[in-house]
Amino acid sequence: MSIDKTLIEEKIYEQLHTVNDPEIPVDIVELGLIYGVEINDAGYVSITMTLTAPACPVAGEIVLEVDRKVREVEGVTDVNVMLTFSPAWTKDRMSEVAKLELGFL
């Protein structure tokens, strides 16, 4: 049985759009914190993401919320969320929507 990786990826991004950075009222996708989503043929999802600051006090909470919400997507069999700080996050990674919402435009 093959899985529709495109559909699963769309559903994953829908879920990720519901995860907000607790210190900034914008979701982690619009903030540019998601560096990559990979899905293998068995439904194993690997997410590479960063945080706005390496010393983010809620880092563990955000990672757990991402893990939990991605596991809710039909077709996902397992999830691995990897934090990276290379390249470092900057405001340039934010979408136009996020910049507008936060008053940077």
For every residue of 39-71, DSSP letters joined together read E-TT-EEEEEE--SSTT-TTHHHHHHHHHHHHH
DSSP, collapsed to helix, strand or coil, labels residue 9 as helix
- Whether the predicted model's global pTM rises above the 0.85 cut: yes
pLDDT score for 1: 58
pLDDT in tens, the chain (105 residues): 578 999 999 999 999 999 998 888 899 999 999 999 999 999 999 999 999 988 888 888 999 999 999 999 999 999 999 999 999 999 999 999 999 989 887
Distance CA 54, CA 37 (A): 21
Q: For the chain, which domains are there? A: 5-85 (3.30.300.130)
